DNA sequence: GCTTACCGTAAGCCATGACTTACGCAAAAC
DNA sequence: GTTTTGCGTAAGTCATGGCTTACGGTAAGC
């Protein structure tokens, strides 16, 4: 489904505080929608909508268990963002080192 | 200034497409506000506002050079988000492995 | 000193999206 | 078969925030 996990979608998904709270609550393990909503300050339908966004971004995985749906973190989505940040980190560090050379700043070079 | 670089602020900052475009344009090296806005489909003040958000999140560093201000990527901000994702990845993988054991899935085990 | 270049800030407008209630559907319980 | 539980979807409301134009302020150029 949403296994492409583009960094843009993941960043957009993790931008919302409620969605980050959902992700945090899912870190210990999978939870049903009701259990998830029970510890959040929003209604259950709101949680469902957020879960859709998170799943669509590839951050969550869902599997049906009887009448309930268990949501859990998907390593693939997290990995996609990590890869993006690795490249960004590389460029940021290179730029930092370049700037360090250009600016004396009396640090001893 | 914003060297604390909380993951929440960084995620919120990187959620906007324009701000991601700014970050992308800064990957090769530092740029002034005018040069930055010149390659973006928004006005210069809009870029200034985005730069403020990015700086506040700890993702960008600024240093004055005459009448212009050079903005560049800050490794610290990127690192903060990487650290957050490392922990998230750890939990996601653990949950994935636990689920793999619980669900036979008739894949050969 | 005056002009020009470069930039940040303020005020206002408008679209995106997060939340709510109401509804419909599927699977378990009995 | 009927009821109950658990969940997703639809429609509508309202706040957040991204964009614009207008303005003020500082450093270089002449």
- Domains identified in chain A and CATH numbers: 7-102 (1.10.10.10)
Q: Which residue has the tokens 């506002």?
A: B49
Give residue-wise pLDDT tens across range A13-66: 999 999 999 999 999 999 999 999 999 999 999 999 999 999 999 999 999 999
Gap between the Cα atoms of B1 and B12, Å rounded: 18
Which pLDDT score is estimated for A103?
54
| Closest listed residue to residue A15, CA positions, set A55, A53, A68, A61 | A53
Gap between the Cα atoms of B87 and B83, Å rounded: 7
Total residues found in chain A within this entry: 109
- The Cβ-side half-sphere exposure at B94, using a 13 Å CA radius, reads 10
Give residue-wise pLDDT tens across range B44-57: 999 999 999 999 99
Query: Which of B27, B30, B78 is opposite residue A85, by nearest beta carbon?
Result: B78
Q: Which nucleotide is nearest, taking the CA of residue A55 and each C1'?
A: D8
Tokens of A77: 């989505």
Cβ-Cβ contacts under 8 Å, B96 against chain A: 61, 72-75
At residue A7's C-alpha, the angle toward residues A68 and B48, to 5°, is 125
- Beta bridge partners, B62, equal B71
Q: Which residues of chain B have pLDDT under 50?
A: 1-3, 105-109
Which pLDDT score is estimated for B5?
79
Gap between the Cα atoms of B8 and B21, Å rounded: 19
Tokens of B64: 């004055």
Query: Which of B11, B72, B86 is opposite residue A14, by nearest beta carbon?
Result: B11
**A5-to-A13, A58, A62, A89, B48 alpha-carbon distances in Å:** 11, 5, 15, 19, 30
Gap between the Cα atoms of A108 and B56, Å rounded: 29
| Ramachandran bin of B108, using left for φ above 0, alpha for ψ from -120 to 50, beta for the remaining angles | left
pLDDT at A3 > cutoff 90: no
Residue pair B23/B68 in contact by the 8 Å Cβ criterion: no
pLDDT at A2 > cutoff 60: no
Helix, strand counts (H, E) of chain B: 5, 3
Gap between the Cα atoms of A92 and B75, Å rounded: 5
Which pLDDT score is estimated for A62?
96
Cβ-Cβ contacts under 8 Å, A89 against chain B: 75, 78-79, 82
Regarding an ipTM greater than 0.90, the answer is: no
């Amino acid at each position: 489904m949403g296994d492409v996990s583009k960094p843009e979608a993941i960043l957009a998904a993790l931008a919302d505080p409620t969605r980050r709270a959902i992700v945090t609550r899912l870190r210990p393990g999978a939870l049903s929608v009701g259990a998830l909503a029970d510890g959040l300050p929003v209604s259950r339908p709101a949680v469902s909508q957020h879960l859709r966004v998170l799943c669509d971004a590839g951050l969550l995985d869902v599997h049906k268990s009887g009448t309930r749906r268990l949501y859990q973190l998907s390593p693939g989505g997290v990995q996609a963002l990590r890869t993006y940040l690795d490249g960004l980190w590389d460029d940021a560090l290179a730029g930092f080192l370049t700037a360090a050379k250009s600016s004396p700043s009396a640090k001893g070079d």
